[in-house]
Structures are given as structure tokens and as C-alpha cells.
Amino acid sequence: MQKISFREALNQALKEEMARDAAVFLMGEEVGEYNGAYKVSEGLLDQFGPKRVIDTPITELSFAGVGIGAAMNGLRPVIEMMTFNFCILALDQIFNGAAKMRLMSGGQYTVPIVFRGPNGAAHMLSAQHSTATENWFVNVPGLKVVSPSTPNDAKGLLKASIRDDDPVIFLESELMYNMVGEVSDEADYVLPLGKCHIKRAGTDVTIISYSKGIHHALGAAEALAKDGISAEVVDLRTLRPLDMDTIAKSVRKTHRVVTVEEGTPMAGMGAELAYRIQHALFDQLDAPVTRVTSLDVPMPYAENLEELVQPSPRDVVAACNAVLYRS
């Protein structure tokens, strides 16, 4: 195993896939000369040249559309969004183009494209740069949605996403780019899409999350362990399609569920999970599924208010105590 940062893991994945397949190219704002807004694409321009690492104007709608057209004609574009908050401008291309093209062409076209970049809040970037956008994308048939929580998962899942023949939304957390963790040094390390990962085994309560929320869940599990509570932490990794088999196995073991997400509560991932679990596993539950989300407000700029709005390990502990009837 190697110890590298989240951004370095993504960089390795891009470098390996571009070396492996000449059809893979990277396009987006500042990905070339500037080495990426968050340095994920550092060194790629020097290695692969300007025909495969392409700087674009600040026009998300246009370069998303160019990428979709390229994917329909045999290439495998990776489109970097400087932040998924700016992806709003490209949603028509993604929702009505990439997601629906296989169906609308009767299977004549596939769209093997990855849209990747930072999602959710970072630190004091205010409302227009801090939206957790995953709820938008999981609502669209034809898209796959991936949101890794560790450098190891980031590398393996990005490689799998680039190789997938369907459009993939790959959501990264800006706050995790500097996170250092162990990453496989296998020659070709790929993780399957659509599979959960048990980040911590437990018997008393299941905490389900993804991306940054996993670290809140693990922090809560550590705190609960001091009180003799054994929490199992399930990392979704892929939000669409959902691995309900792994989730169901955990629920049958613990009989209590807490979901954690950075997004706001209305029509969120936790709401979908709660419905699916209570619909399919109602008799296995000893308490209602409880959600931990951000508050239902635009993200404030002030540091203390930004912290107040977002979920924390303390919130997750409180939710776990509630489903355990300890509060």
C-alpha cells in the first residue's frame, strides 16, 4: 500500500486510464496550463499534450455538450467541473443529452463520459459554491452517481467510472483533497460500481453515509463505542445504483438505522434510503429510520454559521441514541 492524498489518488487514476486507453481525455476549466483548480490534473498536460488535456472557456453548457458528442463518437471524456455548483449551467446537456441518449437512440449510442469535480461545502465559500448536488443527479434515470470517501476508493472508483459505458457523475469533496490515506499499489486497481463497503463492523445500529458523511459516521461510532454501543458504518460509495443487498444484510443484524448526508432534508438520499428500508425490511426494524442532514437553508458564509448548518459527529451520536431509545 502507498500513502497518498485524495487528489493524488485521483491524479493516478486519470494518468493510468489515459495511458491505458488513447480514447480517454480530460477537458475543463484550468485543467491544463494551471494543472487544475485543485491540482488533480497536475502533470497531465506535460505527459499527454494539449489534444488530450484541454483547457476550456468558462462555459459549462458548451464543454459538457462537446464531451457528450465526443463520447457518442467513440471517445471517453472526463469532464472536470471546477465545482458542481457551476454544473447547474450544464444540466440540460447532462439530463436531456447524456442520460437519455442510449434510450432515445434505441441503443445505437452509448455515452461513456465522466463528469467529476468538487461537490458540497468547502470552507466559507458561501451559498453559491456550497451546494450538495447529489440529490439532483440520483433522480435522473440513465446516470450513475459515485461519491467516494477515501483516497483508496477515489482511485478505484474513478478508474471504474472511466471504463463504464454509461454517463457517470463523480462527486468529490473539496475538503478531502488533502486527506492522506492508504491506497492500493496494484498495477490496475479498480473497484466495482454499485457496491457498498463496510467501513466499520458493528451490531447495535447501522449508520449509512458516503463522502464526507462517512467521517462524521466514523467519529460518531468511536464516541458511541466508549458507551458500549457498537455501530456499523456502511459507505454507499455508489449512490445510483444502490447496493440494497449489503444495506439489508446490515439492517438484519442491527435492527436500527441512521442515515447521514451533507445535503438538505427535502427529497434527499436519506429519505430514499428510509423508504426502501422501511418498505422492504419493516419487520426487521426496532425503531424508525432516522436521518441526519444539513439544515434546510442556503449555506451561510460566516464560519460559525456554516458549521452550525452542516451535520457533525455529535448530531450522528444524538440520532443513534434516539433510535436506541437512550435519549
Among all residues, which ones are annotated catalytic?
60, 129
Residues 6+ apart with CB under 8 A from 288: 274, 278, 323
Nearest-5° Cα angle at 242, 324 to 63: 130
User: How are the residues of the chain apportioned to helix, strand and coil, as percentages rounded to the nearest 5?
Assistant: 40, 20, 40
* DSSP string across 44-73: HHHHH-TTTEEE--S-HHHHHHHHHHHHHT
- DSSP β-ladder status, 114-119 and 2-5: unpaired
How many angstroms separate the CA atoms of 247 and 206, rounded?
9
The upper half-sphere exposure of residue 91, i.e. CA atoms within 13 Å in the direction of its Cβ, equals 13
Cβ atoms 130, 153 nearer than 8 A: no
How many angstroms separate the CA atoms of 21 and 205, rounded?
44
